[in-house]
Structure 1
Amino acid sequence: MNTSPKALNLDRSPVSSHGLELEIIGLGKRFGDVVALDNVSLRIPAGGFHALLGENGAGKSTLVKCLVGFYTPDTGDVLINQREVKIPSPREAAQLGIGMVYQHFTLVPGMTVAENLVMAKGALPALIDWKKEREELTAFIDTLPFRIPLDKYANSLAAGEKQKVEIIKQLYLKRRFLILDEPTSVLTPDEADEVLGFVKNLASSKALTVLIITHKFREVTAYADDVTVLRRGKFAGSGAVKDLSVEQMAEMMVGGALGKQTTMRTLASVIPEYKPKLVIENLCAHGDYDQLVLDGINLSVRPGEILGIAGVSGNGQKELVEVLIGQRKKSAGKVLVDGEPYSGKRAEIARHKVFSLPEEPLRNGCVAGLSVAENMALRNYDQPPLARFGFLLNRKALKQQAQRYVEAFGVKTDGINAKIRTLSGGNVQRAVLARELSNPVNLLIVANPVFGLDFNAVAETHARLLAARANGTAILLVSEDLDELLELADRITVMSEGKLVYETSAETADLRVIGHHMAGGHHDEREVA
């Protein structure tokens, strides 16, 4: 596949051959008493590829929403090609040539690629001249370095194809300044490199200027020219990527030198001698629409081991976790914990000490309307000392437990009686970790544990998981972040279309091979039968 800058024929392309120069001077935005942006400035030259970094709540989303017209800044100026502009709505942003590709796809699933592209133009006659539109689309596609399947329906495209179509849609609409918001969160490594390589080539050809929000330092160092870091709504630093280390960028984000996190796996040679804590044999399960979503899953996890499951979202990982934590019934196969049949019932969970850290814990692991203390007691409210005579709740013991958990795990809250929904994402995560890890844990089921968390919360969560592993806990870790799996797991297996299709030791893992299997490819080496 040719993705070199020369492959884009700028003379024939309906896309303008010049990206926009953008400068922000002293931008400020408040929401009541909350200062979301405070005197932020940055400049991106035409044809630049600029990364915007910062922890959650740093102001990244507020800044780009000001650029695309969702928010109106309270102070400051936006200059495009050295001329001051006002962007009161997304319509004006589009007219100026500013477009945004969001983290989640916006294509209409039941429409073809051609229909999605044409309908995105907005102002269309009541009777569309599809022959003319088709000719224009074909001429446009001919200028691109790869083919786009115009007649395929959006819901049949792979994730990488969908993301490319989202970007191509912005080009077809003649956007010259492109904002990418976590554009590779659902892509395999190969798909991510293909998408970002394509955009980078457009920027190198001066056809486009790019601003990317990402939490993946690898993407910053591989593709960005310059970086700006925000912290608590303020400018925290910037520079050429070639002149900055990952550690320096991370320190800008958190506001000081980082304490070194000890995350090296201590691979114990005795792990294979232990009997597996969790055994899954030929597990099958059906989805919400009675489709087969788990197709003959076989795996085992031993004490003191982390087994990582990689895969693109939507390949059965969610349903596997639901079966293991008792939220979905299996249709065939066995799940054994300590050699005994296991179905995720409350009594089994308590007996075998099985705990879980679900994705989006506020939604999947908490009762949002209950207090912090009550949520921390969801595992043991019916056990002494929290329960008296088996049915009376000991409020004093409940509060004492919550206070211990808050202090031990550093949960920042207005008080243990505050509704848990009032906590930040990182602090909800800490609260759930406290509940799940404060007592002996034999088996821990973890799903995308750091999704949406800031830099410090990620490091803290990873350290907690490694500490549990060191204490002999068997951990099944489902994650869409390969870097996370490579850092934490002892073994990695890949799930694709409801099956486990590949397994490797984390020590010898090849990122490209894993990505190939995530994308549905096949290798002869070490296939999972």
Structure 2
Amino acid sequence: MSATAAIGSLPPVTGALALDTYRMSMRFGSFTALDSVSMKVAPGTVHALLGENGAGKSTLVKCVAGFQRPSEGSILIDGREQAIDNPVVARALGIGMVYQHFTLAPGMTVAENLLLAGGKTPAIIDWREKRAELEAFLQTTPFRLALDARPLDMAAGEKQKLELLKQLYLRPRLLILDEPTSVLTPQEADEVLGHVRAFARSGLCTVLIITHKFREVMAYADDVTVLRRGKAVHHCAVASTDPGMLAQAMVGDASAARPESPHSEEKVPPALILRAQSATDFIAMQASLEVRGLQVMGDRGTLAVRDLNLTVAAGEILGVAGVSGNGQRELVEALVGQRERAAGMVRVQGQPYAARREENHRLKVRSLPEEPLRNACVGELSVAENMALRDFDRSPLCQGGRLRFGAWRSRAREWITAYGIKTQGENAPIRSLSGGNVQRAVLARELNGEIDVLIAANPVFGLDFAAVKEIHTRLRGVRDRGGAVLLVSEDLDELLELADRIVVMSEGRVVFETSAADAERQVLGAHMGGGHHQPLAEVVV
């Protein structure tokens, strides 16, 4: 049957639907991405889908949304088996999806993006009629966007809201959300998820949400399914579980059952002990990284970092929070030497620091940049060669001016074992590794030897649960050995778990600072969202 004929035979698109997958499998050659997955999603509920990277979450929802055909098994809509051959059929069934990455037309208006979402835009548009229709639609939503605004000029949170509005405008019976809050402040996340839950409970829509945040599952979902290695290993009502049980189901490891306390280590970092002293004495004695009056130009020729001041002490993790696009990326690039500084001063251990290679060795500065394959590796070079990028010209990797490639490979094999890097061997191109294993390889290189300053930017973005836990443990280890860690992260939960102190960046400035122990999520979110714009003259402990 053709897609057109199939659409003509579909049931009316009204009300929340019931979704069932029955023994659904998906194979790509010899690789099985989904292995006989059966899942029930009740109509009018919010159903969370959890799992590590590679567990099969994206494959499952792509099958439901018509982007892939399962190799075996069935998809049932309201108890009736449906062949969802493509996204057009899925849309006719009332299935909509909000993707993790934006799918907006950046130069077109909000109104134009909403109309394009329907896929049936007439050649001539009666804009007076359509604008009235869109205004009436926006009256039914908890957040509004100006119809003439363009995504090109929007903050990330506003873009995410527009992505959701595009789907709500089409009145879906099933709404699939893929990491919908990754670029939102806590308030925006609660606002969006609160509306989604209300939408589901009204009986208008069923919601299937992919998330890695246990807090969102516990607060907004009714039921949860956990996938592990392509199999559905756990189904339950949210009311009968907790984050520890879900974590254990995800990784199959009892040691991962309960997330660690932010400061559960027995060893108290030096920074925490010395805070009893005056801030001035403390900074004078313990400051490892100082940034004063830093200005950095963005890609559009305007200042992305504006007169920024901050200090990171030895033996502490300073977390930098903020919604994406507020100067965090430019700050990190300026600190590690990937972007020119327009003004300001940076010191490490009291000495001027320009991020040159010789300074990195002498002052013991390391970095874990975002997207390590692009920012910290040469994809065509081998794992061993990438591991040697920092010290290939130093003993024991180089002696008498001669590079000792055997020593490169020998050390790489040791690190591959020590860091649990999954690779075909030290000679494999590093681009052949998964994201988590690339990050482990970079970790092995950057954490080798003594470290006085570590600059980390979203170091676990997109990684699975086990990799996240391992990297977090190693970041704490740097702090506990007396290193200063600057941790820039868009994940507030990560900062609340790891940091000793948290600052908030908004519009290129540090606008708020607090100890992690005293941090309040909603207060941080208010500053992240731009509710307070008075920059701090000085950020110290």
TM-score (norm 1): 0.94
- CA distance in structure 2 between the partners assigned to 1:525 and 1:324 by the alignment: 20
Between 1:494-503 and 1:406-415, the stretch displaced more is 406-415
* Residues 1:204 and 1:454: Cα distance change in structure 2 (over 3 Å): same
* Residues 1:134 and 1:525: Cα distance change in structure 2 (over 3 Å): closer
- CA distance in structure 1 between the partners assigned to 2:518 and 2:536 by the alignment: 12
- State the match for 1:457 in structure 2: 467
Between 1:105-114 and 1:69-78, the stretch displaced more is 105-114
Is 1:333 aligned with 2:344? Answer: yes
Give the AA of the match of 1:137.
L
- State the match for 2:430 in structure 1: 420
- CA distance in structure 2 between the partners assigned to 1:146 and 1:322 by the alignment: 34
* Residues 1:412 and 1:123: Cα distance change in structure 2 (over 3 Å): same
Give the AA of the match of 2:17.
L
Question: What are the equivalent positions in structure 2 for 1:54-203 lying under 5 Å apart?
Answer: 54-203=51-200
- CA distance in structure 2 between the partners assigned to 1:371 and 1:525 by the alignment: 45
- CA distance in structure 2 between the partners assigned to 1:264 and 1:519 by the alignment: 24
Residue 407 of structure 1 aligns to a residue whose secondary structure is: helix
Deviation, structure 1 residue 84: 1.0
Mind listing any 5+ residue stretches in structure 2 that lack a counterpart?
1-11, 276-281
Give the AA of the match of 2:331.
L
- State the match for 2:502 in structure 1: 492
Deviation, structure 1 residue 158: 3.6
- State the match for 1:4 in structure 2: none
The 8 Å contact of residues 53 and 214 in structure 1, kept in 2 or not, is answered as yes
Residue 395 of structure 2 aligns to a residue whose secondary structure is: coil
Q: Indicate which of 292, 302, 309 corresponds to 2:313.
A: 302
Deviation, structure 1 residue 27: 0.5
- State the match for 2:391 in structure 1: 380
Deviation, structure 1 residue 41: 0.7
- CA distance in structure 1 between the partners assigned to 2:184 and 2:494 by the alignment: 15
Deviation, structure 1 residue 156: 3.2
Give the AA of the match of 1:225.
D
Residue 112 of structure 2 aligns to a residue whose secondary structure is: helix
Give the AA of the match of 2:521.
L
Deviation, structure 1 residue 142: 3.1
- CA distance in structure 2 between the partners assigned to 1:152 and 1:199 by the alignment: 23
Q: Indicate which of 49, 57, 66 corresponds to 2:46.
A: 49
The 8 Å contact of residues 67 and 87 in structure 1, kept in 2 or not, is answered as yes
The 8 Å contact of residues 160 and 195 in structure 1, kept in 2 or not, is answered as no
Deviation, structure 1 residue 399: 1.4
- State the match for 2:454 in structure 1: 444
Is 1:468 aligned with 2:478? Answer: yes
Between 1:260-269 and 1:67-76, the stretch displaced more is 260-269
Give the AA of the match of 1:157.
M
The 8 Å contact of residues 503 and 528 in structure 1, kept in 2 or not, is answered as no
* Residues 1:332 and 1:56: Cα distance change in structure 2 (over 3 Å): same
- State the match for 2:9 in structure 1: none
- State the match for 2:274 in structure 1: 270
Post-superposition CA distance 1:484-513 (Å, at most 9, x none): 111111111011111111100111011111
Is 1:344 aligned with 2:355? Answer: yes
Residue 191 of structure 1 aligns to a residue whose secondary structure is: helix
* Residues 1:275 and 1:349: Cα distance change in structure 2 (over 3 Å): same
Mind listing any 5+ residue stretches in structure 1 that lack a counterpart?
1-14
Post-superposition CA distance 1:73-108 (Å, at most 9, x none): 011111111111111111111111100001122222
- CA distance in structure 2 between the partners assigned to 1:225 and 1:448 by the alignment: 30
The 8 Å contact of residues 13 and 93 in structure 2, kept in 1 or not, is answered as no
- CA distance in structure 2 between the partners assigned to 1:294 and 1:305 by the alignment: 23
- CA distance in structure 2 between the partners assigned to 1:163 and 1:305 by the alignment: 33
The 8 Å contact of residues 263 and 463 in structure 1, kept in 2 or not, is answered as no
Q: Percent identity?
A: 57
- State the match for 2:6 in structure 1: none
- State the match for 1:213 in structure 2: 210
Question: What are the equivalent positions in structure 2 for 1:505-520 lying under 5 Å apart?
Answer: 505-520=515-530
- CA distance in structure 1 between the partners assigned to 2:139 and 2:330 by the alignment: 41
Deviation, structure 1 residue 148: 3.8
Post-superposition CA distance 1:229-258 (Å, at most 9, x none): 110001111000000111111111112312
Q: CA RMSD in A?
A: 1.9
